[in-house]
């Protein structure tokens, strides 16, 4: 059994409950529904418990079968199948009675789930055919290479998120955040392939989140004889400006020319994901997740130069922000150029808290950067000595080598972990003698210096072919320890300003401060313990806005007692 939450509007921990049984998704009727049922279903979904349930299709009517009716759980069952019910598929309900659940927003430790929030018109369904959800997302421009003759007047279908139009023999690519493409004829050699067509007359505006949001028609009856005058639709995608090779410097220049952006993503480990933050009255703030959905998330993604949104995340899934919450109940149509063009409601303190900060995961082009880097020798896939492939672009087999550890630090490790798809960097290591298990011994990259935002180590500054590394032994090769989550410490700056004051403090009370180099160098010449020093004093607060606890870099075994503390 598989379970998911669906419907609209909703947050990530609530929705219409749907169950996958006998190779088909269906719903559960609300007859005799209880909180005990909701407890069992929420645990299926990875939440610790339920806080409520909903009746009468509160989250919209589902489609397909109504799998369960008159369900009666005590609340402690391991599976909904262990509860009393009328039998699978035996129901006298309509979809107007679809049940929903509201789960406690606390995850079962170790449970992983994508928590996708979908838009209302999710799928088209005829018979047993569903439009795939694994779709391209809002390319800036692509072109159908082959379109049914009736459709040649429209070149916009490929601009939307594109799923598979024919059967498995057709091509479904995964590039998003794309550049422009042209409509041009191209002959496919399909004589040996038996193609079964499913869709025709696909008509999109170009801003849809999924291909299923476009107008289209199904072929009925003998699908192998369909599309006699046409051929399979094929798209050709090009990476958009953000992903063009070697343009990091140009991108920085363009951003400087355009001035400060009014929207950004923070707290995400990967390109194209993070907490949505907007600039209003010269102050950055967050967006409340009430009514947050894929349409609004896609406007954010496209405004930032990515494809459409893959996920609209609620409940501060990318960490809690600071400062004001600027927007609430954002309701985009999906065609807007900016989030600021969408209708929204101004926030009040009672409406939202930072535990409700909205976030996004955007579709981005598949660039293959993760194939040019690997880790070796670590205890898990998240750690090890960094090995990079060189010479992979000229058609020959890539040559693997090591990275010089000299100058290697956290910023470089951040880029390496991002390129590997392993999240954040916990440590960047300059010596890795304890991971000496690989037969790769040659240094091929040195002088690596990153800003921390690059997508690949090759985009960072480095010595190129002119290697310069004082210690070329394998023990001095660079290494990383990556983590899916990380702490994110932020100083509460206004508090420092509000509490600052001047104090004249006697020297005999400043021995500890002197030991820890907290005083200026002239304090060494003072007449200890007589006299005083003039100090700037203030209070401070450090907030952890990440998704992991903050721990000191040094382990407990290396801590020492200090009488000053």
pLDDT in tens, the chain (565 residues): 899 998 877 888 899 999 999 888 999 999 999 999 999 999 999 899 999 999 999 999 998 999 999 999 999 999 999 999 999 999 999 999 999 999 998 878 766 655 454 443 333 333 333 333 333 332 333 334 333 433 333 334 444 434 334 433 333 333 345 443 433 333 444 444 567 777 888 899 888 887 878 888 887 766 666 777 778 888 888 777 888 755 555 555 555 555 668 999 998 888 899 999 999 988 899 999 988 988 999 999 999 999 899 889 988 888 888 889 999 999 999 889 999 999 998 876 667 888 899 999 999 888 889 999 999 999 999 999 999 998 766 667 788 999 999 999 999 999 999 999 999 998 999 999 999 888 899 999 999 999 988 999 999 999 988 889 988 889 999 999 999 888 888 888 889 999 999 999 999 999 888 888 888 889 989 999 998 999 999 998 998 888 788 887 777 888 887 766 5
On whether both 472 and 525 belong to a single domain, the answer is: no
On whether both 388 and 453 belong to a single domain, the answer is: yes
On whether both 473 and 504 belong to a single domain, the answer is: no
Beta strands per DSSP E along 338-448: 345-346, 359-362, 373-377, 383-390, 399-403, 424-429, 443-445
On whether both 322 and 341 belong to a single domain, the answer is: yes
Q: Which residues contact 254 (CB under 8 A, 6 or more apart)?
A: none
Let me know if residue 174 belongs to a domain.
no
Pick from 430, 405, 304: nearest CA to 361: 304
Let me know if residue 225 belongs to a domain.
no
pLDDT at residue number 35: 95
Looking at 344, 362, 380, the residue that finishes a domain is 362
Burial of 1 (0-12, 13-18, 19+ CB in 10 A): exposed
On whether both 289 and 355 belong to a single domain, the answer is: yes
On whether both 324 and 418 belong to a single domain, the answer is: no
Which stretches of 177-258 are DSSP H helices? 248-258
CA atoms within 13 A on the CB side of 212: 16
Let me know if residue 81 belongs to a domain.
yes
On whether both 437 and 497 belong to a single domain, the answer is: no
0.85 exceeded by the pTM?
no
Looking at 466, 483, 500, the residue that finishes a domain is 483
Looking at 483, 507, 528, the residue that finishes a domain is 483
Let me know if residue 285 belongs to a domain.
yes
Question: Peptide bond preceding 175: is omega within 30 degrees of 0, i.e. cis?
Answer: no
On whether both 289 and 380 belong to a single domain, the answer is: no
- Number of domains within the chain: 4
Q: Which residues contact 177 (CB under 8 A, 6 or more apart)?
A: 137, 139, 140, 239, 240, 242, 243, 272, 301, 305, 306, 307, 362, 363, 364, 365
CATH number at residue 353: 3.10.250.10
388: containing domain: 369-483
Let me know if residue 45 belongs to a domain.
yes
On whether both 479 and 499 belong to a single domain, the answer is: no
């Amino acid at each position: 059994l598989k379970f998911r939450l669906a419907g609209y509007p909703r947050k990530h921990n609530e929705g219409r409950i749907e169950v996958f049984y006998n190779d088909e998704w269906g719903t559960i009727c609300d007859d005799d529904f209880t909180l005990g049922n909701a407890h069992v279903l929420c645990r299926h979904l990875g939440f610790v418990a339920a806080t409520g349930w909903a009746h009468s299709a509160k989250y919209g009517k589902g489609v397909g079968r109504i799998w369960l009716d008159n369900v009666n759980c005590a609340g402690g069952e391991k599976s909904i199948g262990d509860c009393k019910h009328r039998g699978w598929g035996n129901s006298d309900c309509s979809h107007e009675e679809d049940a929903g659940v509201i789960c406690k927003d606390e995850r079962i430790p170790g449970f992983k789930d994508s928590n996708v929030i979908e838009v209302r018109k999710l799928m088209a369904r005829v018979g047993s055919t569903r439009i795939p959800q694994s779709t391209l997302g809002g390319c800036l421009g692509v072109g159908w290479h082959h379109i049914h003759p009736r459709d040649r007047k429209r070149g916009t279908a490929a601009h939307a998120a594109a799923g598979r139009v024919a059967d498995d023999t057709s091509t479904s690519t995964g590039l998003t955040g794309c550049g422009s493409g042209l409509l041009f004829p191209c002959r496919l050699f399909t004589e040996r392939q038996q193609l079964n067509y499913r869709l025709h007359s696909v008509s999109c505006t170009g801003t849809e989140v999924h291909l299923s949001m476009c107008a289209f028609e199904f072929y009925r009856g003998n699908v192998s004889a369909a599309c006699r005058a046409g051929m399979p639709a094929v798209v050709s995608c090009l990476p958009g400006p953000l992903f063009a090779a070697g343009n990091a410097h140009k991108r920085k220049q363009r951003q400087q020319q355009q001035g400060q952006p009014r929207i950004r993503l923070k707290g995400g480990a990967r390109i194209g994901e993070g907490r949505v933050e907007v600039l209003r009255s010269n102050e950055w703030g967050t967006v409340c997740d009430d009514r947050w959905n894929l349409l609004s998330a896609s406007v954010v993604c496209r405004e930032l130069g990515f494809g459409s949104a893959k996920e609209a995340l609620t409940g501060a899934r990318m960490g809690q922000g600071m400062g004001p919450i600027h927007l609430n109940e954002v309701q985009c149509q999906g065609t807007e150029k900016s989030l600021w063009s969408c209708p929204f409601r101004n926030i009040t303190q009672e409406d939202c808290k930072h535990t409700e900060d909205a976030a996004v995961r955007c579709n981005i082009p598949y660039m293959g950067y993760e194939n040019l880097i690997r880790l070796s020798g670590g205890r898990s896939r998240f750690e090890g000595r960094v090995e990079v492939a060189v010479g992979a672009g000229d058609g020959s087999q890539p040559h693997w080598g090591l990275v010089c550890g000299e100058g290697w630090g956290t910023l470089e490790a951040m880029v390496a972990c991002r390129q590997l798809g392993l999240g954040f960097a916990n440590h960047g290591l300059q010596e890795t003698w304890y991971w000496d298990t690989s037969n790769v011994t040659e240094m091929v990259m040195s002088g690596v210096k990153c800003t921390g935002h690059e997508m690949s180590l090759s985009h960072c500054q480095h010595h190129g072919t002119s290697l310069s590394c004082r210690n070329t032994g394998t023990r001095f090769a660079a290494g990383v320890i990556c983590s899916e989550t990380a702490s994110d410490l932020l100083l509460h700056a206004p508090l420092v300003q509000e509490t600052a004051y001047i104090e004249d403090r006697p020297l005999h009370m400043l021995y500890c401060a002197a030991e820890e180099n907290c005083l200026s160098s002239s304090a060494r010449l003072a007449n200890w313990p007589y006299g005083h020093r003039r100090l700037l004093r203030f209070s401070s607060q450090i907030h952890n806005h990440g998704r992991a606890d903050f721990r000191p870099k040094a382990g407990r075994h290396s801590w020492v007692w200090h009488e000053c503390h």
